[in-house]
Amino acid sequence: MHRFARDNRVESLVSISRKNAGLRLFGAAVNTVEFTALVGAGSLLAGFLGSLTGLGGGVVIVPLLSLVFHVDLKYAIGAALVSVIATSSGAAAAYVKEGFSNIRVGMFLEIATTIGALVGAALALYLRASVIAVIFGLVLIYSAYTSLRQGPHALENQPPDRIATWLRMDGTFPGEHGLESYHVRGVPLGFAIMFVAGVLSGLLGIGSGAVKVLAMDKAMKLPFKVSTTTSNFMIGVTAAASAGIYLSRGYIDPGLAMPVMLGVLLGSLAGARVLARANVKVLRYVFSGVIGILAIEMIYSGITGGL
Amino acid sequence: MSEMTVRRPDQKMDEIMGLLLRTGVVLAAAIVFVGGVVYLTRHQLPVTNYRVFAGEPVELRTISGILHEALALHGRGLIQLGLLALIATPVARVAFSLFAFLYERDWTYVFVTVLVLGLLVYSLFGGHAG
């Protein structure tokens, strides 16, 4: 029975591709190996630039797959989500040893992001692709905007906060003169923004690092290094919460996720190696510009029903 | 010498956690890579049409189905197993934090961590077919 159903599906897939005379990209027919190589190369570049500019590779994977490779939005989001877990866990492994991330803040806020991720993954089932594409475009524009606008960070030590003290969130990080301590503030507001970050992550298959940093930087007044590394630390857990649902719903296709995950992972590792020597400023402008264009195209395709 | 004594209390925990994350990602990537090689060398069909969403078959979206397909050394099953290992990596990190907080007798954070772990387990095993 089981086997029969599967054969049926394979048959129908074959007939669909026969009807379209195979998949065509840039006007040429491609086979599975060529398709995998092209997606892998695109993911490699996305991971490399994403890690160099700090924007993350996952954020361009969905527009790349849906706009360039004409992949259905559900498959694209599933594949991007998997690559987000890989890069976040890979980077967190390096950061956690340096002692910047605040594990208590991260774990407490993960309640908000995982609930948000489950809500977002559930919403993805009910929202139309056009709506998701428009939300995606707006989030892309916000990400590009925050990466360009790098305001000064308030470094004066904050007074202690009642809730943060009760939750023992105050911490230390290795500064120029040994360990520097800091107080955490604005826990309820940070928690609320983290819920939104979780919803966006589950709905769009991104890490939503920009929103997470906003919560910890602006609302909770964490030192910059602490908020960025703690955000990275949390992205993997948030993405894992929605990835479980995406996997059991059949949105994660192995043939597509394989080149995306390996490409983004290798690209971001290479990016982290080059980071110390590169002049990132120009690159950040270029990459933000690319993201801006992709954002407008996502919104346009969403409104005109091209996705 | 004085610099050596500046050890943060959670340093040991951080080191184990870093090792755990790195091992998980490397293991997952290796399984996905092997599965990818099998998939590409044996895949005789024309490229899957990703333009039309069909959803994965049952054996590639449940944990028991994926294990079965991977043990049969099917390329797509092996890739899914690697992706499952990848999804399990942050979950394992949270589980490890639970032991660390239990060891420190930090009951507030034991509760917080159990809650996060419960949500993750619900996502993976909740059965959201639909």
Tens digits of per-residue pLDDT, A62-89? 999 999 999 999 999 999 999 999 988 8
- CB-CB neighbors (< 8 A) of B84 in chain A: 247
Task: Answer yes or no: do A22 and B116 touch at CB < 8 A.
Answer: no
Separation between Cα atoms, residue A217 and residue A203, nearest integer Å = 23
- CB-CB neighbors (< 8 A) of A72 in chain B: 50-53
Is residue B10 assigned to a domain? no
- CB-CB neighbors (< 8 A) of B60 in chain A: 250, 254
Q: Which domain holds residue B77?
A: 15-125
pLDDT over 80 (residue A279): no
* B25: nearest CB among A22, A89, A256: A89
pLDDT (average), residues B88-95: 93
Task: Answer yes or no: do B120 and A107 touch at CB < 8 A.
Answer: no
Report pLDDT for A278. Answer: 64
pLDDT over 60 (residue A224): yes
Distance (Å) from the alpha carbon of A239 to chain B's nearest alpha carbon: 8
Separation between Cα atoms, residue A74 and residue A58, nearest integer Å = 14
* A14: nearest CB among B40, B45, B108: B45
Query: Is the CB of residue B4 less than 8 Å away from at least one CB of chain A?
Result: no
pLDDT over 70 (residue B46): no
Residue A216, both tokens: 């910890």
Number of structural domains chain A divides into: 1
Distance (Å) from the alpha carbon of A194 to chain B's nearest alpha carbon: 14
pLDDT (average), residues B61-88: 91
Task: Answer yes or no: do A243 and B87 touch at CB < 8 A.
Answer: yes
- CB-CB neighbors (< 8 A) of A242 in chain B: 123
One DSSP character per residue, A269-307 reads HHHHHHHTTS-HHHHHHHHHHHHHHHHHHHHHHHHHT--
pLDDT (average), residues A156-176: 82
Question: By C-alpha distance, which of A69, A41, A68, A43 is closest to A57?
Answer: A43
Q: Which ranges of B1-106 would DSSP assign to H, the alpha helix? A: 11-42, 63-71, 75-103
Residue A88, both tokens: 């976040």
pLDDT over 50 (residue A18): no
Q: Which domain holds residue A117?
A: 28-304
Is residue B1 assigned to a domain? no
Is residue B67 assigned to a domain? yes
Question: By C-alpha distance, which of A204, A206, A164, A199 is closest to A181?
Answer: A164
Separation between Cα atoms, residue A74 and residue A245, nearest integer Å = 12
Contact between residue A55 and residue A139 where contact means Cβ atoms under 8 Å apart: no
By percentage, how much of chain B surpasses pLDDT 70?
Answer: 85
pLDDT over 60 (residue A53): yes
- CB-CB neighbors (< 8 A) of B55 in chain A: 249-251
First to last CA, chain B: 61
Report pLDDT for B45. Answer: 62
Tens digits of per-residue pLDDT, A91-123? 777 776 677 888 899 999 999 999 999 999 999
Query: Is the CB of residue B113 less than 8 Å away from at least one CB of chain A?
Result: yes
- CB-CB neighbors (< 8 A) of B116 in chain A: 107, 110-111, 114, 237
CB pairs under 8 A between A and B: 238
Task: Answer yes or no: do A236 and B84 touch at CB < 8 A.
Answer: no
Task: Answer yes or no: do B86 and A261 touch at CB < 8 A.
Answer: yes
Report pLDDT for A114. Answer: 96
- CB-CB neighbors (< 8 A) of B65 in chain A: none
Query: Is the CB of residue B112 less than 8 Å away from at least one CB of chain A?
Result: yes
Q: How many CB atoms lie within 10 A of CB B27?
A: 15
Report pLDDT for A89. Answer: 84
CA angle A126–A130–A136, rounded 5-degree value: 95
pLDDT over 80 (residue B106): yes
Burial class (CB in 10 A: 0-12, 13-18, 19+), B78: buried
**Rg of chain A in Å (alpha carbons):** 20
pLDDT (average), residues B95-102: 91
ipTM over 0.90: no
* B128: nearest CB among A240, A245, A259: A245
Q: What is the dihedral of CA B48, A86, B77, A75, to 10 degrees?
A: -30
Question: By C-alpha distance, which of B47, B45, B49 is closest to A71?
Answer: B49
pLDDT over 50 (residue A183): yes
- CB-CB neighbors (< 8 A) of B95 in chain A: none
pLDDT over 60 (residue A145): yes
Distance (Å) from the alpha carbon of A292 to chain B's nearest alpha carbon: 24
Task: Answer yes or no: do A254 and B119 touch at CB < 8 A.
Answer: no
Mean pLDDT taken over chain A: 83
Is residue A12 assigned to a domain? no
Query: Is the CB of residue B15 less than 8 Å away from at least one CB of chain A?
Result: yes
Separation between Cα atoms, residue B61 and residue A249, nearest integer Å = 7
Burial class (CB in 10 A: 0-12, 13-18, 19+), A9: middle
Report pLDDT for A277. Answer: 65
Using CB atoms and an 8 Å cut-off, which of residues 25-44 of chain B contact chain A?
A: 25, 28-29, 32-33, 35-36, 39-40, 43
- Ramachandran region of residue A38, left (φ > 0), alpha (ψ -120 to 50) or beta? alpha
Which segment of A138-147, A167-176, A246-255, B1-10 scores lowest on mean pLDDT? B1-10
One DSSP character per residue, A131-186 reads HHHHHHHHHHHHHHHHHH--PPPP-SPPPP-HHHHHTT--EEEEETTEEEEE----
Residue A82, both tokens: 């998997």
Q: Which residue is listed with tokens 């924007």?
A: A55
**Confidence class of residue B57 from pLDDT cuts 50, 70 and 90?**
confident
Is residue A20 assigned to a domain? no
Is residue B9 assigned to a domain? no
Residue A227, both tokens: 């908020």
- CB-CB neighbors (< 8 A) of A262 in chain B: 29, 32-33, 36
- Count of helix runs (H) and strand runs (E) in chain A: 12, 4
Report pLDDT for B7. Answer: 47
Q: Which residue is listed with tokens 């967190």?
A: A92
pLDDT over 50 (residue A305): yes
Return the DSSP state at A64.
Answer: I
Separation between Cα atoms, residue B130 and residue B128, nearest integer Å = 6
**Confidence class of residue B10 from pLDDT cuts 50, 70 and 90?**
low
Is residue A3 assigned to a domain? no
Number of structural domains chain B divides into: 1
Report pLDDT for B2. Answer: 38
Report pLDDT for A291. Answer: 87
Report pLDDT for B127. Answer: 61
* A93: nearest CB among B13, B18, B97: B18
Q: Which residue has the higher pLDDT, A228 or A299?
A: A299
The pTM of the full predicted model, rounded to 2 decimals, is 0.86
pLDDT (average), residues A191-212: 92
Is residue B130 assigned to a domain? no
